[in-house]
Amino acid sequence: MVVGRYEDLKNPSKDEVLRLLKSAADIIRTAVSYESILLILFYKVISDKWEAIVSNNIAEGIADREFAYELANNEYVKLYDPASKQLFTWREITRKSETIAEIEKALIKIAEMNRSDGGIGLEEIKRLIDKVGLSALANKDDLRPILVELVELFNRYDFSQVDYDIIGDAYQWILSYFAPTKAKEGETYTPREVIRLMVKLMDPENYSIIVDPACGSTAMLIESYKYVREKIGEKDVHLKLYGQDRSGDMVAVSKMNLLLHGIRGDARIFFGDSLINPEFLKELKDQEADYVIANPPWNLDGYGEDKLNKPELRKIYRYGYPPNNTADWAWIQLMLHTAKKKVVVVIDQGALFRGGREKEIRSKIVSEDLVEAVILLPEKLFYNTGAPGVIIVFNKNKPENRRGKILFINASNEYKPHPEIRRLNILGDDNIEKIVKTYREYVEIPDFSKIASLEEIKRNEYNLNVTLYVASTGIEEEIDALREYQELVRIEEERKRLLEKINEIMTELAKTLGGGSQ
């Protein structure tokens, strides 16, 4: 069955693109995975953009059509195979009788033709194609009409002249729309407004290297790119962007995301476990990144001393090894090792005050005067947890007037109700600007921000809990309860430590007694 027509294609506006995606979401509902929309949008957009480049080449006097194809391959992505002289564009493929199966084959071929060669590379998209399984779905009588309707929907539009920001925002909309569902399956999604806040706090410069070691969809790297572009007032952005994720599916999603935002040459995304095999460090070689930004998985377990105490990793984890049940301070150490200017991380609030090994690591990092600001966020911002989360800003080049100090910002009341999801909150533009202004001016505001000296923090046993230094009006009882909870945590950790000591003594005693009876 041939899908769609090719005449009178519509050049969609931003609102029309959004309506298109809402229609696509309605079509699939829960019958087909949301990644099918990502793949189809990606394929349609790169095909339309590629064909526009070919048309421009021909209009500029290139008579040899195959040469025009190869120029488009070099300039954008490879959709023409010179060896077989085959085109793998949307227009070409959807002319065929078994459209859905042919789209899947074409995407696999495109992934193979666009392997990493110093650029983004698309080989991981094959993983996503296998996961979605368009051909298998098309063979099911109840699902085939859904896929055909989806393809026909996108077939009505020509994306060749649609701005990359509009397309990129559309792609991000899909991710955010399905985020509540994916959160139940364990996937994390950082809200766009939290990312904007973090990038403004980072304040990256042009000609910088930026790394996200837990990059997910690369939304933080993309926001950094857009921030610099707006900051310098031109499109000539010179950034090197590096990301890594341990999910092959997310690596595929991130690479498509970058391309749909018009970001190609100076971005590299790696597949792997950053904590034990940071591929981006191999790529950087002797260089350091200027900035590192991330929302790593909170309280990730299984990354204690047994796993991290390796010769090749000791420089990274030089402040110590975290407990086995939470890798929060392993992530922070990796980020500090990678950056030469700033690190901005959003992490679980417990990382600020938990004792034991985490306290030992925290005390060393605080003592080296690397922490510039700690910001308590409102609760219910994230899809997968109601916990508030905190942003920590580390700065290896603190201005003179900030040395020996840490700014604490209690932004727990800086939120608005989420316009679409009743149980969630969001950061409004005014909330973001208030936080950023306070950080940049580094000032104290009653019930909102406080500057504490390292001496005061040391007296508080390196506890960085924001409410210990600045409390919002009307939450004193909550603070007292939190302090009581922290004290209970401390007592429980001390109990465990003493129990371990007793067990060691009893083991030694048993050995001694056993030896004496022989």
Residue-wise pLDDT tens digits, 153-198:
999 999 999 999 999 999 999 988 888 776 666 667 899 999 999 9
Is residue 217 within 8 Å of residue 257, measured between CB atoms?
A: yes
CB 330 within 8 A of CB 318: no
Tell me the per-residue pLDDT of 437-450, one tens digit each, with 9 for 90 and over: 999 999 999 999 99
First to last CA, the chain: 86
Between 243 and 98, residue with greater pLDDT: 243
What per-residue string of b and e applies to 231-245 under the rule 16 or more CB within 10 Å gives b? Answer: eeeeeebebbbbbbb
Q: Could you tell me the pLDDT band of residue 200, with boundaries at 50, 70 and 90?
A: very high
Phi, psi of 376 (to 5 degrees): -85, 125
With a pLDDT cut of 90, the percent of the chain lying above it is: 71
Which pLDDT belongs to residue 477?
47
> Percent of the chain beyond pLDDT 70?
91
Show the tokens assigned to 339.
């950056």
Place of tokens 């942003």: 391
Report the DSSP pairing between strands 289-294 and 339-347.
parallel
The mean predicted confidence, pLDDT, of the chain is 90
- DSSP letter (8 states) at residue 10: B
CB 301 within 8 A of CB 327: yes
Write out pLDDT tens, residues 67-109: 999 999 999 999 999 999 999 999 999 887 678 889 999 999 9
Q: How confident is the model at residue 518 (pLDDT cuts 50, 70, 90)?
A: very low
3-state secondary structure of 291: strand
Q: Which of 19, 13, 94, 100 is nearest to 51 (CA)?
A: 94
Q: What is the rounded distance in angstroms from the CA atom of residue 44 to the CA atom of residue 32?
A: 19
Give pLDDT, residue 223: 97
Query: Which three-class secondary structure state does DSSP give residue 211?
Result: strand
Contacts (Cβ under 8 Å, ≥6 apart) of 112: 123, 126
Q: Is the pLDDT of residue 329 over 80?
A: yes
> What confidence category does residue 502 fall into, taking pLDDT thresholds of 50, 70 and 90?
confident
Q: Tokens for 517? A: 């009876």
Instruction: State which of 31-40, 224-233, 325-334 shows the largest mean pLDDT.
Output: 325-334
**CB half-sphere exposure, 5, CA atoms < 13 A:** 4
The pLDDT, as a whole number, for residue 347 is 97
Report H helices in 97-163: 99-113, 125-132, 134-138, 144-154
Residues in Cβ contact with 367 at an 8 Å cutoff, skipping those fewer than 6 apart: 454, 458
Model pLDDT, residue 212: 98
Q: Find out whether 436 and 201 touch, Cβ atoms under 8 Å.
A: yes
- Sequence-ordered list of residues with C-beta below 8 angstroms from that of 295, at least 6 positions apart, any chain: 188, 190, 194, 214, 216, 220, 345, 346, 347
472 pLDDT exceeds 70?
no
What beta strand segments (E) does 150-266 contain? 208-212, 239-245
Residue 476 has pLDDT above 80, yes or no: no
Q: Give the pLDDT mean for 288-316.
A: 96
Name the token pair of 308. Answer: 């991290």
What pLDDT is recorded for position 514? 64
> Quick one: fold of 181-473?
Rossmann fold (3.40.50)
CA distance 428 to 415: 6
SS3 sequence, 331-388?
HHHHHHHHEEEEEEEEECHHHHCCCHHHHHHHHHHHHCCCEEEEEECCCCCCCCCCCC
Q: What is the spatial distance between Cα 256 and Cα 252, in angstroms, rounded to a whole number?
A: 6
CATH, domain range 14-177 = 1.20.1260
Q: Which amino acid makes up residue 8?
A: D
pTM: 0.87
Tell me which DSSP letter residue 203 carries. Answer: -
DSSP-H helix ranges across 239-284:
248-260, 279-284
Q: What is the pLDDT of residues 276-286, one digit of tens each?
A: 999 999 999 87
